[in-house]
Amino acid sequence: MTKFKEMVETTEYNDSDPFHVECLRFCFMDVLQKELDRVKFLWNCHIINKSRKNMHTPRGRPNIIYEQPEEWDAESHHRNVSEDDIDFLEENFGHEFLEHGTLEDFVELFHVLKQDIVMPKNFSEAKALYDSLVHEYDTNKPM
């Protein structure tokens, strides 16, 4: 998070500029999702030890406790959801999947600005792509 804060402080990123917002999403979304997935995996596989403060906390791995609560003398909080409820939610709150979390028009623009885009695998690559796209945009935008 401090890296993004630095980008704001150095004016490399302007959250009121739609190009900057979509460019940031395009460049960093996959990197951030990969990191979130890694943290989720590590969290769900770690062992929770018995708590002295809360004796009702089960000991074990979170993903196994969730899937097999009866084995841990715990209660399942799984709930069935009707197809009607799912349809209602999709109609009222769903949205189209956005490639790299970015609006389609901007994805096209990014590919016009830089034809040989390779999606980044880490923060440094994402930052380099972001800098490159912003530079190309700033150089080529109409006055």
Cα 123 to the center of its chain, rounded Å: 13
* Cα–Cα distance measured from residue 105 to residue 98, given in angstroms and rounded to the nearest whole number: 11
pLDDT at residue number 74: 76
Does residue 49 lie within any of the structural domains?
no
Residue 34 domain flag: yes
Residues of the domain holding 9: 2-44+79-140
Q: Rounded distance, CA 68 to CA 74, Å? A: 9
Residue 59 resides in a domain: no
Spatial CB neighbours of 32, under 8 Å, sequence gap ≥ 6: none
What's the rounded Cα separation, in Å, for the pair 42 and 36? 10
3 state SS of 7: helix
| pLDDT tens by residue, 3-15 | 999 999 999 999 9
Residue 11 lies in a domain: yes
First-to-last C-alpha distance (Å) of the chain: 33
Total count of domains within the chain: 1
Task: Kindly report, residue by residue over 24-65, the tens digit of the pLDDT.
Answer: 999 999 999 999 999 999 988 888 887 777 777 777 788 888
Res 97: pLDDT:
66
In a domain, 71, yes or no: no
- Predicted confidence (pLDDT) at residue 143 exceeds the cutoff of 70: no
**Buried b / exposed e across 82-117, counting CB within 10 Å, b at 16+?**
eeeeeeeeeeeeeeeeeebebbeebbebbeebeeee
Residue 109 lies in a domain: yes
- pTM for the predicted model, two decimal places: 0.73
Q: Residue 50 falls within a domain, yes or no?
A: no
- Give domain status of residue 115, yes or no: yes
